[in-house]
Each structure stands twice: as structure tokens, then as C-alpha cells.
């Protein structure tokens, strides 16, 4: 057990790392390359799988991690953002990086951090590569942050697989105002000789990715649309599902998944097609595939994707942070036999999101919108959000904190839906735990 002085030192260190957000988002690889060179270029010793996309990339990363763990491999998993604590971003076989390792690596990097004015995400990415190399993982699964081409994760020379999930509008001030341009930025992770797996389903974007693959002289390109399908999809009220999957000429019947939704079926196909491309690197038996998909959340610790938190009271948590996510949430709840207009919705959102569009979707789901402000500068105030909701004839209440919004929603004795952002989810989970409800 850490003593109070070491806990205080770690908090001070993490506060400093989070303060690096003041440098904002600075696209470009010069600083991360300098930081990694300072560390001895740990990324060059790793076998990596690199995953980019707008939505679904965290789910695909965790599915791959769960499958490879279940096959007996030591798997590093780097995802962002975190829900509850910084350590969640860097895991090996589901175990979070320790406070001691965070402190050690941060102190080692500090001279270079201060010299280069590196951003928070660049420091975190370098820390992940250094930790995975030190711990000699068999494979590192790396999720991009915001983009692809200029993302801090894009420093791997020869990943064993490069995966693209679904593309949508997000971070347009950095990535572009149309889907083709955004797709081009995501395709910036393609590398010569590295096989590419495309989970995106729209033909125009698939063609865009194929063109970039030719330009980069990648390895073989595998497209989910071409060789994969699912059937007999059954979604359950406890937000799990079963489905049959066809991957090329291989059929797997009655796969159980601990995540739910047509979009998650697509993510499963993308993960399974990726697994097929890895057969020269890893021995992955069918029982490992089934376990990795069926117990993904427990194996990897990656949660919050339309998650069934509690039966009584009924509480669902989703980190849906854009319009596409909320549409999938709406469709999935309907498919799991939850009627519209039945939810008390706890909602907080960042100012830069398409809020009116998001409110249009939530209006179909909720009895009442419990508006709150997550504790981050970029969040829209609960007052403004409530006014926008009222302007769209939505029954909305303003709350002074996320915790009070959660408690108020639960007191209504209706099903509770918590959604809007990772930042909201963090505070909501803490409020639930204080009420004795563990997620």
C-alpha cells in the first residue's frame, strides 16, 4: 500500500502531465519522435497493431486484445481517453500500468518534455511504447488519438496489421470538413508492406482507402464488405448479443458478445478479419476467439460502450460523444426492446459537438434530459445546454453537478441513461459508486 507522501507525489506528477493539455493539440510527429529517440526508440522493438477510425476503434482494439490474451499471449493495449483514472490508458493483459511505473517513466522523460514542450497525448504515447517494450509484450495494440497521419501514435515503421474502423465527422478543425478528407487523414497510418484491414462499409470511402494503400505500397488489403458477414443477430435486454459470423470461408456460429449493437457486430467482423491476417504471427484457436469476444470487458477493462450497469435501478452508460454514436445508441436500445421516451437521460457534452443534432436524437429517447457540466473547460454549461433543449421542446432540467444530475435521474424511478462524453462518464461512475452501484 502506497504511503500518503508517495500518493501526493503521484498526484502532483499526474497534475503536471494533465497540465500539458495547455499546449493543446499540435499535429506533427517531430516532438514524439524526439521524445522516443530520447527513450531509445522503444517502439522499434515491438510487434504492433495500429487502429484508426472515428468510431469503433476502441472496441476493435479491445476485441483484438481479448482474443490474443485468451490465446495465451502477453498483450499491451493503449487506448484513450480514460474513464476513471490515467492508468487505464496503458494495460497489459487487462492490468493497468502501476503508479510506480508512471512515476518512473515520467521522471525519465521530464527533461525532454520540458525541452520540447510535448503535449499530454505525446507523453502518454511515449510512455506506452516504453512500458510495453520494458515488459516485453508479445504484441502491442495501439489506438490512434484524434487522427492518423499526424497522430502521435504514427511512429511505427512496420506494424503487423493496420486497421481502419468506421469514419464520421469529428475534430473537423484538424481533420477536414468532408469524409473523403477525413478518411485520407486516417489512411496516413498506412505503411509500406503492412497489411490493411478496412472495416468502413461505404464504398466511396473504401475506394479512398484502397487508393491510399496503393500509393503507400502497403501489404494486402482486406475489406470486411468483400469477405465477411453476420447472420442470426440476437440482441438481449441485458445488452449482450449472439450472432453467426462468416469470415471468408470460415463460419463461426452462435458467438456470444458482451457488447451489443449492429455497429458492434461490424466491429467483431473487423476484429475477426484482422485475426485472420495475423495467422502467420500467432496461433489463435477458436476457443480463444469466443472467449475474447464473450468476456471482452472483463479481460481488457475497456468499458462504457452501451454498458448495462445495473438492473435495479436500470442504468445504462454509454460514452457516445458524437451524432453517429447517439444514432447507434438509439437503434441499439430499440433492438433490445427498450421503448422510446422511457429514459431519464443524464447528458453533458463538449462545446464543439453538433449539439442540436445530438439533442434531436435524445429527444426520441427521453422523458427528461438532466443537463450537467462535466468538469473540463471544453464542456458546455448546463444552463446553455438546458436552454438549447428547451428551444427544441425537450423537457430538460439544469443541475449544478454531474453527481446531482445522476441522483435526480435515479429518484424518478424510471430507467436511467447516462451519455455524452468520457468526461461525463467519469463523474457519473463516481456518483454511482457513492450510491453503492458499481459499474
CB 314 within 8 A of CB 239: no
Q: Peptide bond before 81: cis, by omega within 30 degrees of 0?
A: yes
pLDDT at 169 (0 to 100) = 65
Q: Is pLDDT above 70 for 397?
A: yes
At residue 174 the predicted structure's pLDDT band, cuts being 50, 70 and 90, is very low
Tell me what the mean pLDDT of segment 427-434 comes to: 95
Which grid coordinates are listed for 349? 457534452
The DSSP letter of residue 430 is H
Q: Is pLDDT above 70 for 25?
A: no
Rounded to a whole number of angstroms, the distance between the first and last alpha carbons of the chain is: 24
CB neighbours of 396 closer than 8 A, spacing ≥ 6?
368, 369, 370, 371, 385, 386, 389, 390
Q: Is pLDDT above 70 for 21?
A: no
Tell me what the mean pLDDT of segment 303-327 comes to: 91
List Cα–Cα distances, 431 to 235, 242, 407, 437, in angstroms: 29, 32, 8, 9
Tell me what the mean pLDDT of segment 358-374 comes to: 95
List Cα–Cα distances, 152 to 79, 155, 215, in angstroms: 13, 7, 22
Q: In what order do the strands lie in the sheet with 315-318?
A: 307-310, 315-318, 416-419, 343-347, 366-371, 396-398
The DSSP bridge partners found for residue 143 are: 51
Q: Is pLDDT above 80 for 53?
A: yes
| Phi/psi of residue 139, nearest 5 degrees | -155, 145
Distance CA 34, CA 220 (A): 31
Q: Is pLDDT above 90 for 381?
A: yes
H or E element: which one contains 186?
A: helix 179-186
Q: Is pLDDT above 50 for 281?
A: yes
pLDDT at 148 (0 to 100) = 80
Q: Is pLDDT above 70 for 173?
A: no
Q: Is pLDDT above 50 for 433?
A: yes
Global pTM value: 0.91
Q: Is pLDDT above 90 for 341?
A: no
CB 356 within 8 A of CB 384: no
Residue labelled with grid coordinates 438546458: 386
- All structural domains of the chain: 4-300 (3.40.1190.10), 307-434 (3.90.190.20)
Least confident of 18-32, 137-151, 212-226, 382-396: 18-32
Tell me what the mean pLDDT of segment 57-66 comes to: 96
pLDDT at 340 (0 to 100) = 86
Q: What is the mean pLDDT of the chain?
A: 91
Distance CA 188, CA 157 (A): 12
Q: What is the pLDDT of residues 132-154, one digit of tens each?
A: 999 999 999 999 987 788 899 99
pLDDT more than 70, % of the chain: 94
Q: What is the pLDDT of residues 108-121, one digit of tens each?
A: 999 998 888 888 89
Amino acid at each position: 500500500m502506497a504511503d500518503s507522501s508517495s500518493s501526493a507525489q503521484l498526484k502532483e506528477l499526474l497534475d503536471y502531465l494533465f497540465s500539458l493539455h495547455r499546449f493543446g493539440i499540435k499535429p506533427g510527429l517531430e516532438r514524439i519522435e524526439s521524445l522516443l529517440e530520447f527513450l531509445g526508440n522503444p517502439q522499434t522493438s515491438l510487434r504492433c497493431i495500429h487502429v484508426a477510425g472515428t468510431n469503433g476503434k476502441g472496441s476493435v482494439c479491445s476485441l483484438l486484445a481479448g482474443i490474443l490474451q485468451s490465446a495465451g499471449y502477453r498483450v499491451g493495449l493503449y487506448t484513450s481517453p480514460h474513464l476513471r483514472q490515467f492508468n487505464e490508458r496503458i494495460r497489459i493483459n487487462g492490468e493497468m500500468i502501476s503508479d510506480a511505473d508512471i512515476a518512473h517513466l515520467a521522471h525519465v522523460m521530464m527533461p525532454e518534455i520540458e525541452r520540447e514542450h510535448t503535449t499530454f497525448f505525446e507523453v502518454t504515447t511515449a510512455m506506452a511504447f516504453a512500458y510495453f517494450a520494458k515488459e516485453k509484450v508479445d504484441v502491442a495494440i495501439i489506438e490512434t488519438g484524434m487522427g492518423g497521419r499526424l497522430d502521435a501514435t504514427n511512429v511505427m515503421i512496420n506494424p503487423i496489421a493496420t486497421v481502419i474502423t468506421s469514419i464520421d465527422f469529428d475534430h473537423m478543425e484538424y481533420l477536414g470538413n468532408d469524409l473523403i478528407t477525413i478518411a485520407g487523414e486516417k489512411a496516413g497510418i498506412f505503411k509500406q508492406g503492412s497489411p490493411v484491414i478496412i472495416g468502413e462499409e461505404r464504398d466511396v470511402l473504401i475506394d479512398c482507402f484502397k487508393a491510399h494503400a496503393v500509393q503507400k505500397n502497403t501489404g494486402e488489403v482486406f475489406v470486411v464488405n468483400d469477405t465477411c458477414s453476420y447472420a442470426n443477430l440476437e440482441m438481449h435486454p441485458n445488452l449482450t448479443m449472439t450472432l453467426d459470423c462468416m469470415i471468408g470461408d470460415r463460419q463461426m456460429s452462435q458467438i456470444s458478445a458482451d457488447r451489443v449493437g449492429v455497429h458492434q457486430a461490424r466491429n467483431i467482423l473487423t476484429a475477426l478479419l484482422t485475426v485472420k491476417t495475423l495467422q502467420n504471427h500467432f496461433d489463435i484457436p477458436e476457443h480463444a476467439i469466443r472467449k475474447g469476444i464473450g468476456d471482452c470487458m472483463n479481460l481488457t477493462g475497456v468499458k462504457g460502450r452501451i454498458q448495462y450497469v445495473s438492473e435495479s435501478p436500470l442504468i445504462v452508460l454509454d460514452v457516445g460523444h458524437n451524432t453517429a454514436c447517439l444514432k447507434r445508441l438509439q437503434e441499439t436500445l430499440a433492438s433490445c426492446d427498450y421503448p422510446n421516451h422511457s429514459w431519464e437521460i443524464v447528458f453533458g457534452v463538449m462545446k464543439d459537438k453538433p449539439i442540436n443534432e445530438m439533442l434531436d436524437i435524445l429527444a426520441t429517447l427521453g422523458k427528461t434530459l438532466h443537463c450537467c457540466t462535466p468538469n473540463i473547460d471544453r464542456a458546455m454549461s448546463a444552463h446553455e445546454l438546458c436552454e438549447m433543449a428547451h428551444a427544441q421542446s425537450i423537457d430538460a432540467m439544469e443541475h449544478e453537478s454531474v453527481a446531482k444530475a445522476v441522483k435526480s435521474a435515479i429518484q424518478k424511478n424510471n430507467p436511467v441513461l447516462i451519455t455524452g462524453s468520457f468526461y461525463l462518464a467519469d463523474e457519473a461512475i463516481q456518483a454511482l459508486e457513492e450510491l453503492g452501484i458499481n459499474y
